[in-house]
Amino acid sequence: MKLVKSLMLGSAAGLIAMSGAQAADLPVKAKAVEYVRICSLYGAGFWYIPGTDTCIKIGGYLRVDTTFNGGIYGQPAWNGGLGTGDRFTDRLNSRSRMALTVDTRTATEYGVVRTFAQGDFQFNNFGTTNPTVLGAAPTALGGSNSSLLDGVGGGYVAVEYVFIQFAGFTFGKSSSAYATPWNGYPGNNNSFLIGGNDSVTGVNNIQYTAQFGNGVSATVGLDDPTLFNRTTLANLSVPLGTPLTTGFALSNAYGGFVMPDVVGNVRVDQAWGLFQASGAIHMVNASYNLLGAGGAPVSGATALTDSILSGHPETKIGGSAMLALQIKNIPTGPGDDFKIDASWSKGDTKNVVSTSGASPSFLMMGGVPNQFAGSGTIGLGATTDGVFLPVANGGDGNIHLTTAYGVRGAFNHNWDPYWSTSLWGGAAWVRYDGVARAEMCAAFGALVPGLGVTYSCNPNYTAAMAGVVTRWTPVKNFTFSAEVGWFGLQQNWSGTATFSPGAPQPIQALTFANQNTMFLNVRVQRNF
């Protein structure tokens, strides 16, 4: 009996010991999970970053489009191989892009602190340049041509907007204070509607906006012009390139970045629409009269050291102005609107002959498959901020600023919640003063014989665009669209000139005439 009693007590003690050990091995109760909270302060799509009072929104779009008889994103066949119709040139150009945006906002005692960034992950073909011509050659600046990144399995990231906003200030890469809210897109899909400013891809700047209430505001800013707002400043002492392949190939003699563009606008933005007046001040400063050779014959001067000795023209200050108007909810239908802006510039041509990239000069030949002018014709148009010819080369040594005028606009109509159409157009007039015209024509005549005999020269020109785009949105934020566009160049040359060869072109006589072309762009886009 004692033995049984001892066994029972021992077993009970063992069970107690085991239960204690098991209790010690139980997991500690986990902390409550902190779920993501919706942030309703700044609109749909924002949520709080866990553990912070900062709201964030991730968005963007995925876009695929193809242009027929034009460059990427609807660039008309207005220069290069497309303009002359050579067989090295791609006449179909496509791009696939995913744009990713990150928007953060934090409420503070000074107002909202906002950061915004957009990166475009994209792949396209060689941008109208056949790889057999482009090869693997670096650019003139020693960097890689972005087209070279579009090989098999390639692609690249383009940075559009990267900025911080705080207490009315904006710091970073954003649209210029000069721009309208629609930039260069009053209703078009293509990125090349000329006639006004377009800084939709962003420019490095600092700007301040003051709000006066009732939709009235004023913004002033300082823009870096080096990449965005400089067309050619032509030094006419430098021989032109081959006119048949490069057009009026003027040497760019801009100096270094000395002064930012001073820009600003006054805007009224209310339920009826928008009115805006913008202005810009732009410095036009040259490097040297002669680049690397031909300076004053001073002892010790060489072809690499005499640029400074040649001097430089006096710096000029140019600028531009723009008036813009939007009328909303016009009687044609709900959500319909009309946008228009008109521009003037002197020495600031990028704010008239503008695209989302560089300002184009024009070279078009008729009679080729993608142009509509007669066979054996040619049209030229040089886009510049100014031109100068040094005294040592027979000129007056002064920069002659280029004058330009522009207008563009669109009527946007919604047929129903799924279908919409926009009619759009734009035009630019580029004008040179008498001295600039004479100096430019003399430089051209030195390369192309017959000036004043078989042909007359006048570099003034007018360029115009018009088109229509129709969109179908079967599902919210998912749109198919097709755009047809026309471009015309009205030039002021006359007669016939014999042009030197420029591969693949032969020596040939061409008659100066107005030119025109068309393009088709098809696109599918999903916003998220």
Distance from C-alpha of 70 to C-alpha of 80, rounded to nearest angstrom = 11
Rounded average pLDDT over 324-345: 96
Backbone angles phi, psi at 309, to 5 degrees: -65, -25
Number of domains in the chain: 1
Residue 168 has pLDDT above 70, yes or no: yes
Confidence of residue 358 (pLDDT cuts 50, 70, 90): confident
In a domain, 182, yes or no: no
What's at 361, amino acid-wise?
S
- Mean pLDDT is lowest, of 4-8, 68-72, 124-128, 404-408, for 4-8
The pLDDT tens digits for 58-97 are 999 999 999 999 999 999 999 988 998 888 888 899 999 9
Residue 437 belongs to some domain of the structure: yes
What range does the domain containing 418 cover?
61-96+188-195+214-527
pLDDT of residue 245: 64
More confident residue, 372 or 413: 413
The per-residue pLDDT for 132 is: 47
Residue 9 lies in a domain: no
Summarised one tens digit per residue, pLDDT across range 218-241 is 999 999 999 889 999 999 988 777
pLDDT of res. 85: 87
Q: Which residue has the higher pLDDT, 180 or 297?
A: 180
**Average pLDDT, stretch 95-112?**
95
Least confident of 77-91, 219-233, 273-287, 390-404: 77-91
- Spatial contact of 512 and 493, defined as CB atoms under 8 Å apart: yes
For residue 19, tell me if it sits in a domain: no
> Over 80: is that where the pLDDT of 33 sits?
no
Name the one residue in this structure whose structure tokens are 């946008």. 339
Coil, helix or strand at residue 157 = strand
Across the range 274-283, mean pLDDT stands at 98
- The pLDDT-based confidence of 304 (bands split at 50, 70, 90) is low
Please state which of the ranges 97-106, 127-136, 344-353 shows the lowest mean pLDDT: 127-136
Asked whether residue 446 is assigned to any structural domain, the reply reads yes
pLDDT at site 2: 46
pLDDT bracket for residue 12 (50, 70, 90): very low
Q: Considering only 67-76, 181-190, 304-313, 378-387, which range has the smallest mean pLDDT?
A: 304-313
Quick one: pLDDT at residue 86? 85
Which pLDDT tens digit goes with each residue over 343-352? 999 999 999 9
- Per-residue pLDDT averaged across 282-308, rounded? 69
pLDDT value at position 228? 86
Query: Is the distance from CB of 38 to CB of 46 less than 8 angstroms?
Result: yes
Give the per-residue pLDDT at 309. Answer: 78
With a cut of 80, say whether residue 160 has pLDDT above it.
Answer: yes
- Tell me the per-residue pLDDT of 17-30, one tens digit each, with 9 for 90 and over: 444 444 445 455 55
Any bridge partners for residue 108, and if so which?
Answer: 111
Least confident residue range of 10-19, 326-335, 336-345? 10-19
Q: What is the pLDDT of residues 249-260, one digit of tens each?
A: 788 899 999 999
In a domain, 123, yes or no: no
Q: Does residue 318 register a pLDDT over 90?
A: yes
Is residue 346 a part of any domain in this protein? yes
Q: Who wins on pLDDT, 15 or 523?
A: 523
The answer to whether 521 and 485 are in contact (CB under 8 A) is yes
Distance CA 309, CA 295 (A): 6
Query: Does 196 have pLDDT greater than 60?
Result: yes
pLDDT at 337 over 70: yes
Residue 396 lies in a domain: yes
Secondary structure (DSSP) of 30-75: PPPP----B--SS-TT-EEPTTSSEEEEEEEEEEEEEEESSBTTTB
Residues paired with 261 in a beta bridge: 223
> CB 260: neighbour CB atoms within 10 A?
19
pLDDT beyond 80 at 126: no
Q: What is the mean pLDDT of residues 458-487?
A: 98
Mean pLDDT of the residues in the chain? 87
What pLDDT digit, counting tens, does each position of 170-195 carry?
999 999 999 999 999 999 999 999 99
pLDDT at position 290:
82
Note the pLDDT of residue 410: 98
Higher pLDDT, 450 or 7: 450
The CA distance from 388 to 52, in Å, is 58
Q: Is the pLDDT of residue 509 over 50?
A: yes
Residue 70 CB-density burial (10 A; 0-12 exposed, 13-18 middle, 19+ buried): buried
Q: What is the pLDDT of residue 53?
A: 94
Give the model's pLDDT for residue 134: 45
Confidence band of 310 (pLDDT split at 50, 70, 90):
confident
CA 54 to chain centre: 32
The pLDDT of residue 125 is 74
Q: Note the pTM of the prediction, 2 decimals.
A: 0.87
